[in-house]
Structure 1
Amino acid sequence: MKYSITLLIVAGAFILRAQPAQKTYCNPMDINYRYNYEQLNDSISYRSGADPVIVNHKGEYFLFVTISGGYWHSKDLVNWKYIVPDKWPMEDMCAPAAISVRDTLYLFQSTFEQRPILFTTTPETGKLYFYNRWLPRLPKDIGPWDPALFYDEELDKWYMYWGSSNVYPIFGSELDKKYRLRYKGSYKELIYLHPEEHGWERFGRDHRSTITPFTEGAWMTKHNGKYYLQYGAPGTEYNVYANGAYIGDHPLGPFTYAPYNPISYKPGGFVTGAGHGNTFQDNYGNYWNTGTPWVAVNWNFERRIAMFPTGFDKDGQMFANTRFGDLPHYLPVKKWQNKDELFTGWMLLSYKKPAIASSLLDTFKVANITDENPRTFWVAKQNKEGESVIVDLQREQQVRAVQVNFTDYKSNIYDGFDQKIYTQFRIYTSRDGKQWNKVVDLTNEKRDRPNAYLELPNAVQARYIKYEHVYVASPNLAISDIRVFGNGDGKIPKTPLKFSAVRDLDTRNAFTKWQKVPGAVGYNILWGIAKDKLYQTYQVFADQPESLEIRALTKDVSYYFAIEAFNENGVSKMSEAIFVK
């Protein structure tokens, strides 16, 4: 009888600890971003992810990122295992190209020198082999930098696209399979930027700089017989980094500028910037577009990775859905039919909510952790176990998920520290600030999660959220944002009234205005080339002015504009779309 009772107790403990499979994800991606050793920045290091390529290889996913010492493997797009190859043949890869064809994954790095194409049929093992030894060198400064490999199954031909410059264009060339994918014939100039016509290709924050913009990050997708040549612009170090597309009937063109550009654009919110990524399909046939949101704390090019649901509408228009693109979304279990159906409806509960910290270093105030800005942060007086932060949601709400975003303030971590780099903490909730319930405990994990997204197994009614620190490898405990998601029990906001959109004399710009909505947390300005194609979104918080200049339009293209309001309870109905010639 004693043994039976013991077994029941053990079984019960196991059931209590069992966690249901995660059903949602939230940008930026929750992976162990590697410390960058390329730019030592006066003995300051930083975690960064840039230039992502996700490849679906035999039903599983592989993520390649600039200068990461390896790559990642996932079976579900949410749990990623870091893999260190048995050897890099040359050096760590910058802006790599990857493609899966039949049973083989091919891999190539950015270079201005002669470098090999690698291959493997088992990338999950980390074993890579030479497919060719040396791709012939191109003329000085031509590349191939930021390369993309493309195989056209229908034509049974191979191609490469590349370019990263504010002088040179995006190039393309056919590759010769007979000679192990060497260049076949001469390369072609395919895409130049035209910021004088395309407002979104202008450099700077909200496209306000006169610096010559950069084009980079080429990628090719074939859909319904059309070739969508994608490119990143105007530069990674601002909120407006985006992906655009030209369309053609042949892999090497000629290509025509898509009037609805950019295809992936996210200038507002916590995650800003969606440029330089790739497009891939999951196991259900859904398309995704990846990009590199901007962080820029220890270095101006410090970034993370995001992925957005992507589609082609009935007219062949390619679009990435960045609306609420940094709030929780469901992982698909089938092919989605509506661009917004993956959005959970879990709203941001923590924006500008008061917080209390156990300690404070210098002027790094605790209010920074709820301001939705990754470039401001709180720093504890000491990096020690027991430091804590309490966020007051100001009223009891239904909490569904928490995201903790760490900052590498004065980090000194370099190569050889791997065994010491992990993230441990606990999350508690409370209804009254006195009795606390532990809902997350990462103290038994040794994973590095600088952007940890934690979906709760069940919804929790809570007013207070407490972060309790255990360990980070950095010299300082620094957190940019603790983001809380769920739903309040109040009313959703009303649709903003008196919304207007007027085109500037410089038709690359338009001025929008609206009437403030009581109780709104923020607004989404939506626009596109038709009433049913409002694929672009600029998110604005309600403590900012009730006006916004949109500087991402294309000359000689007419648009429709609309607006919606959101708060902790949900999203208003969208306003009537306004035609702007």
Structure 2
Amino acid sequence: MRTFYRTIITVTSITLAHAACTNKGPVAYREVPTTYCNPMNLDYAYVPSTHTYYAQDESHRSTADPAIVLLRDTLYLFSTNQFGYWWSADMRTWNFVRKDFQVNGQAGDNVCAPGAWAWGDTLLFIPSFAAPDPMPLYVSTNPAAGQWSIVTDSFAIATWDPSFFRDDDGRVYVYWGSSNTYPLYGMELDPSQNFAPVGERKELSRLHPEEHGWERFGENHMDTTIRPYTEGPWMTKHNGKYYYQYAAPGTEWNVYADGVLVGDHPLGPFTYAPYNPVAYKPGGFITGAGHGSTFRDRYGNYWRAGTMLNWIKYKFERRIGIFPAGFDEDGQMYCITAFGDYPNYHANGQRDHQEATFTGWTLQSYKKRAWASSSLPGKDPSLAFNENIRNYWSAASADPGEFLAVDLGHECDIYAIQVNYADEGAQLRDKQMGIYHQYRIYHSSDGEDWSILIDKSENKTDVPHDYIELVEPFTTRYLKLENVHMADGKFAIAGFRIFGKSPGQAPSSVEGFQARRHDDTRDATFTWKAVRNAYAYNIYYGIEPDKLYNCIMVHEDTTYYFRGLNKGVTYFASIQAIGETGVSERAPVVQF
């Protein structure tokens, strides 16, 4: 097997972004940001050339099912069909290592939904596979250099969506399963016998959508004709308890989430957590938080990596997101997805995620007047500003000079910008080394005279979701994104997102917030009064008034029909208004 290695070296931490501005001095952006914004800005691979059942006429990027593990203060990220993996020492810069693991014979996947675990100096890894195809079990003590050995040519258990867990006593376990018919399973392994199975396979979990509303299939849990899928198990041990995580109801839906069962042994029995789901993001620019991994950074902070939905060309077109996670003083597991696709602070040491990681920079570009150099039919400029990654604007070509412009409506302070490319007319397949995006961002106070704000015309990296954090806020009204070079396809943008602050008071607190449980207690309807100058609302809910860990973002509407509740559980909820001038205080908590 051939192994290639590539790393990104940061030369400077601050880059000049604006050297010829008439109303301010030079503006700099951080080459290595102190904040992040989902989806992760990784050099995602295109769909595999071995796939023959979709994307024949037009390709696209995709990955899913992230497994992140910490080995000697370095994080390693494995995911589906990437022809390698990434490593990072700081969660800011991710370095790709090219590695051709064995292809899954049945599906033609380079690597599908892999399992990984790290302890001491060792990293264990295996892709999904199904009988009768064999799959090696891999091990490495130097994965950053792409050096791997094979423990056994054929792992004894055919595991789809595998994950590993090594307990404090040295005993090792494997978990697996992906089905809307069969359960998820677990089994002990013997590390002294090349991780051969020990004992009998145990059934660990099944879905119960008749009791758990969030396990129902479909967009917003609306499809009751198809049984939901359960998959992607992952184990985390915290304070002597075993938190067995699983994904449901389907990766192609906005409500793809993770639940958790809690027990006293790695193979159970487990008890369903009444606060499920634990990782849930049904609203916002990009949705979904299911089938991932819970890991610790080098400071000991917990995080949750999950699959996010980017369904444009195909239902399994996906990305990766990372969210703060942890366990409260009562042992309740949580994952913070509120403002999960807005700028949030990186951790610089051990911290309490609940003390707020959100920067407070809100969207300044939502549904603002936009225009472009050209547009394909049905790909209007407005689609780059509607906070929906699943549609996009496209120019007629990839020529240099094609542009997308927006009027923010008034001058505001810009703190960060996210440029989300779309795959229009892409033809590349597999992992592509050496491709890159180049662009310039101009600013103007009147829409007539333009000056360069951000110059990435010399960029040589692949940045499909480029994120730019300014060192100091910059005040302007008009912005224009101009193409210089595309990685592949036409110049197309799914989100030209401008984050910052507008002058004025933050929105007032929401009034009239009510939550009404339906006869089918898996369902509820939230209603509230509109708040002036609010473009969106965050609904927070949970099973105790001071544990409203789950969040649903709703744009513009003043009602939300929710189908994700558990029967027999009392809930509490609050709401917050979001505007260009900031966010409101949360409304009084209601019980329902």
TM tier relative to shorter chain: over 0.9
- Say whether 1:490 aligns with 2:508: no
Contact 1:439 1:456 in 2 (8 A): no
Candidates 578, 587, 591, aligned match of 1:566 = 578
468, 474, 477: which one aligns with 2:491 = 477
- The structure whose residues are more often strand, as a share, is 2
Q: Cα gap change, 1:508/1:33 in structure 2, threshold over 3 Å: closer, same or farther? A: same
Report the AA paired with residue 465 of structure 1.
L
Shift of 1:286: 0.8
Q: Could you say which residue in structure 1 is the equivalent of 2:223?
A: 209
2:564 match: 552
- Higher relative contact order at CA 8 Å, sep ≥6: structure 1 or structure 2? 2
| 8 Å CA contact 1:281, 1:288 repeated in 2 | yes
Aligned to 1:231: 246
Amino acid at match of 1:570: G
Task: Specify the alignment match of 2:393 in structure 1.
Answer: 378
Q: What is the CA-CA distance between 1:362 and the residue it aligns to?
A: 1.9
For residues 3-39 of structure 1, the C-alpha deviation after alignment (integer angstroms, 9 at most, x for no partner) is xxxxxxxxxx9x9989564101000001111101135
2:129 to 91, 98, 111: 111
Among 518, 529, 532, which residue is 1:518 paired with?
532
- The one-letter amino acid of 2:461's match is R
Q: Counterparts of 1:415 and 1:326 in 2: how far apart (Å)? A: 27
2:164 is the counterpart of 1:149: yes
Partner of 1:8: none
Partner of 2:589: 577
Q: Give the CA deviation at 1:507.
A: 0.4
Q: Distance in 1 between matches of 2:539 and 2:429?
A: 42
Of 20, 36, 45, which aligns to 1:25? 36
Distance 1:463 1:252 in 2: 57
> TM-score w.r.t. structure 2 length?
0.92
- Contact 2:255 2:288 survives alignment (8 Å): yes
Name 1:509's counterpart in structure 2: 523
Question: Does residue 1:74 correspond to 2:88, yes or no?
Answer: yes
| TM-superposed deviation, 1:177 | 1.5
Q: SS in structure 2 opposite 1:35? A: coil
- 1:232-280 deviation line (CA, Å, top 9, x unaligned): 1000111100010000000000000000000000000002011000000
Equivalent residue, structure 1, for 2:348: 333
**1:49 aligned partner:** 63
Helix, strand or coil at the partner of 1:521: strand
Q: Which residue identity lines up with residue 295 of structure 2 in the other structure?
A: F
SS at match of 2:192: helix
Pick which of 90-99 and 566-575 moved more.
90-99
SS at match of 1:178: helix
One-letter code of the match for 1:135?
F
Q: Which residue of 1 aligns with 2:440?
A: 426
Q: Using the alignment, how far apart are the partners of 1:300 and 1:416 within structure 2?
A: 20
Secondary structure at 1:368's aligned position in 2? helix
Contact 1:298 1:409 in 2 (8 A): no
Letter matched to residue 148 of structure 1: S
Q: 2:273 aligns with which of 236, 253, 258?
A: 258
User: Is the aligned partner of 1:101 residue 2:114?
Assistant: no
Q: Map of 1:124-203 to 2, 5 A cutoff?
A: 124-137=144-157, 143-153=158-168, 155-203=169-217
Q: Structure 1 CA distance, aligned partners of 2:295 and 2:485?
A: 36
The answer to whether residue 551 in structure 2 is matched with residue 537 in structure 1 is yes
Change beyond 3 A, Cα 1:338–1:77: closer
Larger mean Cα displacement after TM superposition, 400-409 or 428-437: 428-437
Percent of aligned positions that are identical: 45
Residues in 2 aligned to 1:435 and 1:55: alpha-carbon distance in whole angstroms: 49
C-alpha change, 1:280 and 1:473, in structure 2 (3 Å) is same
Q: Which amino acid in structure 2 is aligned with residue 100 of structure 1?
A: A
Residue 338 of structure 1 deviates from its aligned partner by: 4.5
Aligned residues: 557
Q: Deviations over 1:462-519 (max 9, x none)?
A: 1111101011132322111100001111111111111111111000011111011111
Aligned position for 2:362: 347
Partner SS for 2:220: helix
- 1:54, CA displacement in angstroms? 1.3
The runs of 4+ residues in structure 1 deviating greater than 4 Å are 15-20
Structure 2 CA distance for aligned equivalents of residues 554 and 564 of structure 1: 23
What's 1:465 paired with?
A: 479
Contact 2:32 2:92 in 1 (8 A): no
Give per-residue Cα distances to partners, 1:181-214, cap 9 Å, x unaligned: 1111111000000000000000011101011000
When structure 1 is superposed on structure 2, of 311-320 and 355-364 the one drifting more is 355-364
How big is the shift at 1:417?
Answer: 5.3
For residue 268 of structure 1, the aligned residue among 273, 283, 289 is 283
1:131 alignment partner, SS class: strand
Separation in 1, partners of 2:457, 2:70: 33
Which one-letter code corresponds to 1:93 in the other structure? Answer: V
Measure the CA separation in 2 of the matches of 1:391 and 1:16: 20
Distance 1:199 1:426, change over 3 A: same
- Between 159-168 and 42-51, the greater mean CA deviation after superposition: 42-51
Answer whether contact 1:321 1:340 (CA < 8 A) is retained: no
CA RMSD of aligned residues (A): 1.6
The aligned residue for residue 462 of structure 2 is 448
Report the AA paired with residue 70 of structure 2.
N
Gaps of 5+ in 1: 1-12, 138-142
| Corresponding residue for residue 406 of structure 2 | 391
Which region of structure 1 is more displaced relative to structure 2, 25-34 or 361-370?
361-370
SS in structure 1 at match of 2:382? helix
CA distance in 2, matches of 1:340, 1:304: 27
- Greater shift in the superposed pair: 495-504 or 126-135: 126-135
1:324 lines up with 2:342 in the alignment: no
Kindly provide the amino acid, as one letter, of the partner of residue 282 in structure 2: P
Preserved CA contact (<8 Å) 2:186 2:267? yes
Residues 45 and 432 in structure 2, CA contact (< 8 A), matched pair in contact too: no
Provide the residue aligned with 2:318 in structure 1.
Answer: 303
TM-aligned CA distance change 1:463 to 1:226, over 3 Å:
same
Q: In the alignment, residue 143 of structure 2 is paired with which amino acid? A: P
Residue 141 of structure 2 is matched in structure 1 by 121
- Asked if residue 83 in structure 1 is aligned to residue 103 in structure 2, the reply is no
